[in-house]
Structure 1
Amino acid sequence: MTINLQKALAGLPNPRSESLLPAIRQHHEGTRRKIVVLDDDPTGTQTVYDTPVLTTWGVDELLHAMRADGDLFYVLTNSRSLVKQDAVDLARQIGTNLQQAAAASGKDFVLISRSDSTLRGHYPAEVDAVAAATDQPDAIHVIAPFFLQGGRYTVDDVHYVADGDDLIPAAETPFAQDAAFGFQNSNLIDWVMEKWSGSIERQQIHSVGLADLRAADLSPVVKQLRSLAPRSVCVVNAAAMRDMEAFVYAALQAESSGQRFIYRTAASFVQAFAGMEPNPLLRSDQMVDANAKSGLIVVGSYVPKTTGQLNALLSAEPDLVPVVLDVAELLADSTDAYAGSLAQQVNEALASDQDVALYSSRQLVKGDDARSSLSIGNRVSATLVDIVRGVQQRPRFLIAKGGITSSDVATKGLDVHRAMVLGQILPGIPVWQLQQESRMPGMPYVVFPGNVGGESALLDAYRILKR
């Protein structure tokens, strides 16, 4: 049932006025451990800045990251594009390599499994796999999908997606109908039960409420977290960044007493856990190649929010050249001729100093099951990647819309192995700077989540970057 945000928060104390970020940073300075974020698609960097991202996870690469300056780095796994067993195998491999790298570096680490704020992804399977591989199979799972910039709130254990001033229970949104990761419950305790498929008892699932997180004294929360039994689950309620800071502060105190957590969260948690202060949005001159004249937008996400944003962009910018990847035609073509014709259209427009919007047709084509639906999505993404690989001149900017799309374009289309998160172009929309080993070194790359922003967000981002 839809509820007004203010009504949902009525009767609760106001968020605390003082920031706990300095205390969180001080704690990290004392432990000197690394915060390692395993990100199941690249959009999870949407709240951080000056932060390295790895798209490979060999022991040597992880060892270099463990030894580098700074407390935080990301590993882009893109596991949301994989079937369950492949995601589990990948999590196990990364965990094993990370364990070896940590031993060689002499540093400890804490794991955050960053995933979708609308509850899609391979939970609990990949979390269990990486926990076992890093020698913490009994670690408590912390579920914290609050994401301020995307309007995702958890109140009374119910997770909501904001639509203006209204909150829609997550299970009543189109995200819950996802062909691969659909779900039926908005109450996160029920959602955990659903996702664990009967392998957890309800009394093993706990929650931390807003009233406790907003109290002046956080010691009861610390006590609660310290008392949690191994392999239990803890749901975090949050409706403001101060709520998330309060939980992080309490969790760090519990960890200092020997409690073990593995965190399954959205992006706002990472910002709070790292103790990062808010940063201004990036300026246009920080996100374009001034020597290039034409830009490229690549859209693969099918969620209704993306389609609305794409329509708003095309309607308002008639000079933008549209190149449409018709999914039905692609699936019917056993050759590369169709994709080749689209690549030619893109290159001709870019060579004429015209900005291009390359996007998949908006009719969602599903398979008979989750595996076949993922296969279709990966075929579309692979074709978009092939077209990007065929781009013959460096764009002024590149926006990739959608999690799988932006990951594949980066890693397979642009050969990105490492990137640096510069910051955000709009709230919740990160910008990477590609490193020297990529096909376009130094180019800013806008990683635009499929499920973030209002109707004009894609248009707004484009207008910041266009000449």
Structure 2
Amino acid sequence: MATLSEIVAPYPAAPALTALDVREAARAVGAPQPFFVVLDDDPTGTQSVSGLPVLTSWAQEDVAWALGGDAPAVYVMTNSRSLPPEHADRITREVVAAATTAAAAMRRRLAFVSRSDSTLRGHFPLEPQLIADLLEEAGQPVDGIILAPAFPEAGRVSVGGIHYTRIGEDFLPSGETEFARDATFGYTASSLAAWVEEKTRGAIRADEVLTPDLTELRTRPEALVGLLMSAKDQQVIAPDIACEQDLLALSLALIAAEARGRTFVYRVGPPFMRARLGQEVRAPLSAQEVEALRSPEEGADGRGAAKPEAVGGLVVVGSHVALTTRQLERLVADSGVPVLDVEVGKILDPVSRDDHLKDVIAQAVELLGQGTLVVRTSRTLVTGINAEDSLEVSRRVSTAVVETVQGIMGRIRPRFVLAKGGITSSDVASRGLGIRRAQCVGPMLPGIVSLWAAQDGPARGVPYIVFPGNVGDEHALAAVVKVLLGQD
């Protein structure tokens, strides 16, 4: 175990770069920057950016809607981390096809980003390699795949080629954490180069991965550009990243290399796009800003009357990581908010499933009339006999959560909806709330936890908060709920 200061001690201090430096470098190129299509394997990737469109559908007209605005990027919620590889493959092909067709019609140049988990869980190498292959089939050679999972605000950094995850106050090599024991995406290596070799089953050797360290990133910008220029044939490049300035330095080098004709596909953690676009780090939203996003229900239900407005908000918890459990316990201890369990054992049993969900929905509607409510999946984690079976269990549980949210929204309108966990937040957004298009407004905590404003569906005018399972301290959930209730 070590602190971050101990890990970075052998390296030079980070350069004094700002987001403005990136914007000016992009302007100096003299040609428009590409429009970035971010395939996000769960909705939590938006937590570090602001003012960007979000899609949960990737029909060509949806992508065209995003391309037609002023934003420099769009986040497309594929939810592929909850899906088997063959489904991730199909969705990736669909998104790339829809985006390239829409962009061709509008004469826009694209760059593609595969946003995934900062603790190294997800479909790698499948997704970035497939994007690269599809681009090459269309006549665009791809020189490198940038692997930058770091997320400094959440305590995930890459230093000396090792990827670390903060546990408490200490930084552990990620291969030694609970995340590496994931039932579906587990791994053993903490070295990013060795992790690439492990995940590609030796198809890419560790010594084939380019690994610029903090010294090169912070003090040798031209050498870093030269290294990026040297990449060829989809070579993986895994740079050290320990802070925002490192991401900005990488972005400057990428702009320079791309201006000289190089093409990259990106496999990154949440803050990469903020740096690459030259966005400032946005302050967390205030209670007043959240309140300004609320609006009355548009239309009425089938009886010709608007649904009643809830006194409180709905918190939906699906994540089972230990941090989520601690955060939930703190919320309950601080506020006394009631908790309803969607019992996994009951929903996996077809005899008890439907009656159980009806009962949870009825209780939830009654409790929301009195205040804020937590609806969570029962805390005993149920897994299958193998990775695919575990994903199937997760999908059945998620479907039950979606039906619960749909049932609640059909009868009462919460002040807000907060979903905890990546798979949970994706399914709640797209299926539970019927969101197809949204705007990512900004973070609820510094650099983490995203608030969306739905542009369609029954959740329009109801703030929707995407809260990853594995970020923040034990007080984070309680702090966000307090702001959402106007108590900051």
Class of the TM-score when normalised by the shorter of the 2 chains: over 0.9
SS at match of 2:319: coil
8 Å CA contact retained: 1:21, 1:245 = no
Is 1:80 paired with 2:86? no
Q: How far apart are the structure 1 equivalents of 2:385 and 2:338?
A: 34
8 Å CA contact retained: 1:142, 1:265 = yes
Q: How far apart are the structure 2 equivalents of 1:25 and 1:90?
A: 35
* Residue 435 of structure 2, aligned match among 396, 412, 416: 416
Q: How far apart are the structure 1 equivalents of 2:315 and 2:5?
A: 37
- The Cα of 1:285 is off from its aligned counterpart by 2.5
Matches within 5 A, 1:152-301: 152-215=156-219, 217-288=220-291, 289=294, 292=309, 293-301=311-319
8 Å CA contact retained: 1:62, 1:101 = yes
- The Cα of 1:445 is off from its aligned counterpart by 0.5
Letter in 1 for 2:85: K
CA deviations on 1:128-147 (whole Å, 9 max, x unpaired) are 22222233464411110110
Matches within 5 A, 1:50-69: 50-69=51-70
CA deviations on 1:184-214 (whole Å, 9 max, x unpaired) are 1110000000111121233321111100111
- The Cα of 1:34 is off from its aligned counterpart by 0.5
Aligned to 1:317: 335
- The Cα of 1:43 is off from its aligned counterpart by 0.5
* Residue 468 of structure 2, aligned match among 429, 436, 449: 449
Is 1:117 paired with 2:118? yes
- The Cα of 1:26 is off from its aligned counterpart by 4.5
Q: How far apart are the structure 1 equivalents of 2:102 and 2:163?
A: 36
Is 1:359 paired with 2:376? yes
8 Å CA contact retained: 2:100, 2:110 = no
Is 1:7 paired with 2:9? no
Q: Evaluate the alpha carbon distance shift between residue 256 and residue 399 of structure 1 in structure 2; reply closer, same or farther with a 3 A threshold.
A: same
CA deviations on 1:367-421 (whole Å, 9 max, x unpaired) are 0011111111111111111111011111111110000101101100111001111
- The Cα of 1:67 is off from its aligned counterpart by 2.7
Q: How far apart are the structure 1 equivalents of 2:188 and 2:23?
A: 36
Is 1:344 paired with 2:368? no
Q: Evaluate the alpha carbon distance shift between residue 212 and residue 461 of structure 1 in structure 2; reply closer, same or farther with a 3 A threshold.
A: same
CA deviations on 1:397-455 (whole Å, 9 max, x unpaired) are 111000010110110011100111111111211100111x2112122111000010001
Q: How far apart are the structure 2 equivalents of 1:26 and 1:205?
A: 27
SS at match of 1:358: strand
* Residue 375 of structure 1, aligned match among 382, 385, 392: 392
- The Cα of 1:466 is off from its aligned counterpart by 2.5
Percent same amino acid at aligned positions?
Answer: 37
Letter in 2 for 1:410: A
8 Å CA contact retained: 2:132, 2:234 = no
8 Å CA contact retained: 1:99, 1:134 = no
Give the structure-1-normalised TM-score: 0.95
Aligned to 1:330: 347
CA deviations on 1:307-349 (whole Å, 9 max, x unpaired) are 111111122222x121011112221243411111111110111
Q: How far apart are the structure 2 equivalents of 1:195 and 1:139?
A: 20
Q: How far apart are the structure 2 equivalents of 1:285 and 1:23?
A: 31
Matches within 5 A, 1:12-23: 12-19=11-18, 21-23=20-22
Aligned to 2:418: 399
Q: How far apart are the structure 2 equivalents of 1:222 and 1:44?
A: 27
Q: Evaluate the alpha carbon distance shift between residue 236 and residue 459 of structure 1 in structure 2; reply closer, same or farther with a 3 A threshold.
A: same
Aligned to 2:299: none
Q: How far apart are the structure 2 equivalents of 1:244 and 1:24?
A: 13
Q: Evaluate the alpha carbon distance shift between residue 354 and residue 67 of structure 1 in structure 2; reply closer, same or farther with a 3 A threshold.
A: closer
Letter in 2 for 1:431: L
- The Cα of 1:97 is off from its aligned counterpart by 1.5
CA deviations on 1:62-94 (whole Å, 9 max, x unpaired) are 123223212121111111110011101110111
* Residue 478 of structure 2, aligned match among 429, 443, 459: 459
Q: How far apart are the structure 2 equivalents of 1:194 and 1:4?
A: 27
SS at match of 1:359: strand
Name which of structure 1's ranges 290-299 and 5-14 shifts more when overlaid on structure 2.
290-299
- The Cα of 1:60 is off from its aligned counterpart by 1.8
8 Å CA contact retained: 1:91, 1:127 = no
Matches within 5 A, 1:384-395: 384-391=401-408, 392-395=411-414
Aligned to 1:105: 106
SS at match of 2:211: strand
Q: How far apart are the structure 2 equivalents of 1:330 and 1:313?
A: 26
C-alpha RMSD of matched pairs (Å): 1.6
- The Cα of 1:163 is off from its aligned counterpart by 2.6
Q: How far apart are the structure 1 equivalents of 2:460 and 2:376?
A: 24
